[in-house]
A and B are shown apart, each in its own frame.
Chain A
């Protein structure tokens, strides 16, 4: 616990965390705005783009949007690890905690707190959006088990992507390199494997596919949802990635000589 507190203090005493929080909030607000704005409208294919505002599927869809900003806490997770190598503070860190795997574990612990905080904030934004738009459109607010599962899923996805970032940063100690890998992964690789039906059997095992399973509202946004794993399996897959990366990193890159 002491080491987790130290890691959180490291984050709080530099400025990046609130830049990333700001970007996450802006991105989620954009997603909420677009979804609310286009709700109920009919696309070129004659189908509704999003369910209309008064409906229950609309509420469920909104609740899951918080997970769209995963890239930014993930980058924060990457930086929690790579900044130590970039500024050589890793020397001081390992002098204070010479058992290096403890440092990795503490960073994962701090990542849980960061992901949870980001998740609670985006859920609060979502709650405001739901509470304002649904009654205005004559709908009735629901707090079903499904809504709770989706909201919990958003928390879980944000936490696990932060951990995924910490693990990635530990493997690729170069900060810019690790961030580029994260961006390419989230915006290109995952976007492709979850969008192209032929690749979806692979896509469901990626972090995005697993994240989609956890926050799946059942609303088909044109890519299909049937291919996804069950929610619990998605959560396990995400956790698996974070643990795997961190364990591999602890056994390899983190062990290397600091010169």
Chain B
């Protein structure tokens, strides 16, 4: 006899024929948070008339009150919702304010922490004539592929020198994918900050 699959007719008949196992199941009782919705019986004539007039009028009142309330649309390109200080937008690289040296020492911890694998760091040695960062080494190449970035902020957490932080820019669309690979110069440059900032508690 060939193998019997579960949905085979013969198999189903066999299962039905098997003696029923003793059921050890208690009746399911809804918790306190379950609301039971009861269907009312069909309304009578008086109730129908009431419903058709009063309930319709109630609906009309609701829609009319929306006019008085005014629209809640935010006219996006002109108006923007302010972002919170902790909003994770486009990355920024930082310099020391006094010495103007880059904070990034090219350790690649951010690249290691990145789950989307979108950061590429190539480190180089600082020399006395060409001192770029405060540490021994600096990032000769620092690229973030923003088309891959998921804005999780792990790079920011991983960075031991607070060299990379998440900024507030979120308008990052572009016409080609190549344009979304941000280089070190672009990340170091003062961002446009087109998004208004919301103060804490606002």
Do chains A and B interact in one complex? no
